[in-house]
Amino acid sequence: MKRQTSTNDSGQTARHWPKRSIREWIELGKSLFRDLSGRLVSRSERSSIRYTVFLSFTVSAIVAMVLTGVLFYLNFSRQLEQTIQSENEMLVKQVNQSVDTYLRDMLRLSNAIYYNVIKNVDIENDSINSELQLLYGTYVSYVENIALYDSDGNLLATAPPALSKQGVKVTDAPWFQKALDRTENLHFSPPGIQNLFVNAEHRFIRVISLSSAVEITSGKSTMQGVLLIDLKYNSLTELFDHVSLANGGYLYLMDANGELIYHPEQQLIASGLAKENNIVAATYHDGGHIEKFEGESRSIIVRTVGYTGWRIVGVIPQQGLVLNQLDNLLLVLFIFLFLFDIVILINSYISRKLTAPIKHLEQSVQSVEYGDAGKAAIYQGGSYEIRHLGASIQGMVDQLHQLTNDIVLEHEQKQKSELDALQSQINPHFLYNALDIIVWMIEKEQPKEAVHIVTALARLFRISLSRGKNIIPVRDELEHVQNYLTIQKMRYKNKFSYEIVMDEEVKNLSIIKLVVQPLAENAIYHGMDFMDGDGKITISARIDGEELHLSVADNGLGMTPDVVERLLIENTPVSKGSGVGLKNVNERIKLYFGDQYGVLIESEPDVGTCITLVLPVIRCETEEVGNVGKK
């Protein structure tokens, strides 16, 4: 237990510092340092640099003084703990020797009974009760009773004389089975209540059983039996009762499996009111260990008792030294206050000296913050570092002006390039051919067909412009392709047919503008242009998992694998088309959505070609629905 107060002889209460281990003092120092650092950082964010420098120097000096005192304290505590540890190890060693001597005496008694009594007597003709009684009288202070059983559990001899209890089956006892299983060893069983013999006083006698297999002579034959020596539990515990370790430590005894044989609080542990870390301690090797049990750090000393495998464990709570001398506290406090006053004066002067130029620099930098960088020069005075910092900030401001002008110019050029790219989507040759078709239809008095072509051309231009947007709904992109194919179909005099298949859930997904038309152009100029008829172009849009797939397939001439491979490497636009090659389409998709998306080409000579655009599934906010179908 940790005490905060105690009562002296005069009845007055004396105050003490709480006992703490070295590790607890270190953790406490870390906690206080983190708390103080957090407060200083929070305060410095709202304070001037002069205050921050002053406070930082002051805190640093205080921390240095505190650390010096703590180091002296820790060094003294470490030396004292080493002394205590050595004394505790010596006590554990002495107890271990006492227990070892006690157990060896019991082993000698077992050997004496076997070799001097049992082996020299024919159990069929002679009795060994008198010899057992003699040995029992010699060791009566340590032995509760001695008994000899045959392999069937029949009692052959006992000292002192006693009657076996009715209903007790000796052969089921662990000590009996162990003795017969390993006949070459002597076996110590855990403490238990002796229940083999009738007890006239009806007392519960706690014993430790020592058993071993013996060879019994009966007539002309020999048989196997078991010798049992019940050791008085109190004779073993007396070796521990008057031993106490320093710093409130204690000893306990356990077997090789961690089962408690003796513990000063064994009754509380058995009733569940107290706990011990004996199972974990059973895994420790002999020597010193540090463990944390139920939130308390403890020093553990382990010693193994010879032959039995039992272990003596010493437990010493790790506690710090008590500093309770008032005169020492006053001296430390006086020295601390004196040094603190000196530190305050020195830090006040240094902070003023250092922060004046920084204050001027801060005021000039504020002009940049308020947008007046071109009107005021950055302050470049004070020490070399501050002058260098001012010059660097001035250079940064000059570069900022230059970069701003470059960004504006680059943005204008980018807008112009995007506008040129959008305008170049409609090839003049395609426009001239469309107008020729319209004139021809008017001359042939086909006004409905002319209106149809003019409407398709108008829609084509409307979607090509799209109010300057690069991302449009899939429905608009496919409507643009449908208008394009309508005009081209009229121009080629129904040389091919086309079909657009689009799932309902695809209509409102987003796509880059004008990426499907180049695929349709390729299908016409490379597939349909060389066919005599029955050409067909199929455009489909569907969702595949988390991807949007737009495919343009034709039944044209197809391409060889080397041509397919070259299409996405070389920028080879269609000679009569829009001038936008598959490579450009592929790069646009990857630029907008990432390298995992792009163009897939499947083609086989004399069979046809299928080009698929792979894009992410992105919803579009607009709700206009285009008129896309079959022609």
DSSP 149: E
pLDDT of the residue at 521: 83
Residues 6+ apart with CB under 8 A from 279: 258
Confidence of residue 316 (pLDDT cuts 50, 70, 90): confident
Residues 6+ apart with CB under 8 A from 528: 492, 495, 496, 535, 537, 554, 556
Q: Which of 573, 557, 536, 613 lies closest to 429, judged by CA?
A: 573
Rounded distance between C-alpha atoms, residue 68 and residue 361, angstroms: 38
Question: Between 372 and 344, where is the model more confident?
Answer: 344
Query: What's the mean per-residue pLDDT of the chain?
Result: 77
Q: Which of 368, 352, 390, 320 lies closest to 17, judged by CA?
A: 320
Question: Element (H or E) spanning 302, and its range?
Answer: strand 296-304
Question: What is 121-236's CATH number?
Answer: 3.30.450.20
| Domain range list for the chain | 121-236, 326-419, 424-616
The average pLDDT across 56-76 equals 71
Hey, which of 347-361, 524-538, 560-574 has the most confident mean pLDDT?
524-538
Question: Between 458 and 505, where is the model more confident?
Answer: 505
Residues 6+ apart with CB under 8 A from 24: 297, 320
Question: Element (H or E) spanning 413, and its range?
Answer: helix 384-423
Structure tokens at 560: 């060889």
pLDDT of the residue at 550: 93
Which of 141-155, 175-189, 557-571 is least confident? 557-571
Q: Are 154 and 216 in contact (CB under 8 A)?
A: no
pLDDT of the residue at 22: 58
Complete DSSP assignment for 499-567: EEEE-GGGTTBEEETTSSHHHHHHIIIIIITT-SS-EEEEEEEEEETTEEEEEEEE-S----HHHHHHH
pLDDT > 80? residue 193: yes
Question: Between 281 and 31, where is the model more confident?
Answer: 281
The average pLDDT across 37-49 equals 59
Rounded distance between C-alpha atoms, residue 366 and residue 381, angstroms: 16
* Cα torsion through 40, 45, 47, 53, rounded to 10: 60
Q: Are 315 and 292 in contact (CB under 8 A)?
A: no
Name the residue type at position 67. L
Q: Is the peptide bond before 160 cis (omega within 30 degrees of 0)?
A: yes
Specify the length of the chain in residues.
Answer: 631
pLDDT > 50? residue 575: no
pLDDT > 90? residue 302: yes
Residues 6+ apart with CB under 8 A from 469: 513
Structure tokens at 136: 């029992």
pLDDT of the residue at 614: 94
The average pLDDT across 38-61 equals 65
HSE, CB side, 13 Å, CA atoms: give it for residue 582: 22
Question: What is 424-616's CATH number?
Answer: 3.30.565.10
Question: Between 284 and 432, where is the model more confident?
Answer: 284
Rounded distance between C-alpha atoms, residue 333 and residue 329, angstroms: 6
Cα–Cα distances (Å) from 321 to 80, 178, 341, in that order, read 8, 50, 30
Q: What pLDDT digit, counting tens, does each position of 363-407 carry?
A: 777 776 666 545 557 777 776 777 777 778 777 877 877 887 888
What are φ and ψ of residue 183, in 5° steps?
Answer: -70, -20
pLDDT > 80? residue 253: yes
pLDDT of the residue at 576: 47
pLDDT > 80? residue 75: no
pLDDT of the residue at 7: 40
Confidence of residue 569 (pLDDT cuts 50, 70, 90): confident
Which of 11-20, 101-110, 387-396, 447-456 is least confident? 11-20
What are φ and ψ of residue 151, in 5° steps?
Answer: -70, -15
The average pLDDT across 332-359 equals 74
Confidence of residue 200 (pLDDT cuts 50, 70, 90): low
Kindly report the pTM of this predicted structure: 0.43
Are domains 121-236 and 424-616 of this chain identical in fold? Answer: no
Q: Which of 229, 245, 249 lies closest to 111, judged by CA?
A: 229
pLDDT > 80? residue 76: no
Q: Are 92 and 301 in contact (CB under 8 A)?
A: yes
pLDDT > 90? residue 162: no
Rounded distance between C-alpha atoms, residue 85 and residue 76, angstroms: 14
Q: Are 539 and 520 in contact (CB under 8 A)?
A: yes
**Helix (H), strand (E), coil (C) string for 373-412:** CCCCCCCCCCCHHHHHHHHHHHHHHHHHHHHHHHHHHHHH
Which of 193-202, 423-432, 524-533 is least confident? 423-432
Confidence of residue 314 (pLDDT cuts 50, 70, 90): very high
* Cα torsion through 460, 465, 470, 473, rounded to 10: -40
Which of 35-39, 158-162, 316-320 is least confident? 35-39
DSSP 225: E
HSE, CB side, 13 Å, CA atoms: give it for residue 574: 23
The average pLDDT across 597-625 equals 83
Which of 41-45, 494-498, 523-527 is least confident? 41-45
Name the residue type at position 210. L
Question: Between 206 and 531, where is the model more confident?
Answer: 206
Name the residue type at position 231. L
Which 3 state secondary structure label does DSSP give 253?
A: strand
pLDDT > 90? residue 611: yes
Confidence of residue 284 (pLDDT cuts 50, 70, 90): very high
pLDDT > 70? residue 46: no
pLDDT of the residue at 330: 63
Rounded distance between C-alpha atoms, residue 429 and residue 2, angstroms: 98
For the chain, give the percent of residues with pLDDT over 90: 12
The average pLDDT across 428-435 equals 64
Contacts 24+ apart (CB under 8 A), 337-343: 339/61, 339/65, 340/62, 343/57, 343/58, 343/61, 343/62
Give the dihedral sign, CA 565/571/576/580.
positive
pLDDT of the residue at 570: 67
Cα–Cα distances (Å) from 289 to 283, 298, 300, 477, in that order, read 11, 8, 5, 76
Rounded distance between C-alpha atoms, residue 581 and residue 515, angstroms: 10
Structure tokens at 334: 């006086």
pLDDT of the residue at 541: 93
The average pLDDT across 280-292 equals 90
pLDDT of the residue at 551: 94
Residues 6+ apart with CB under 8 A from 416: none
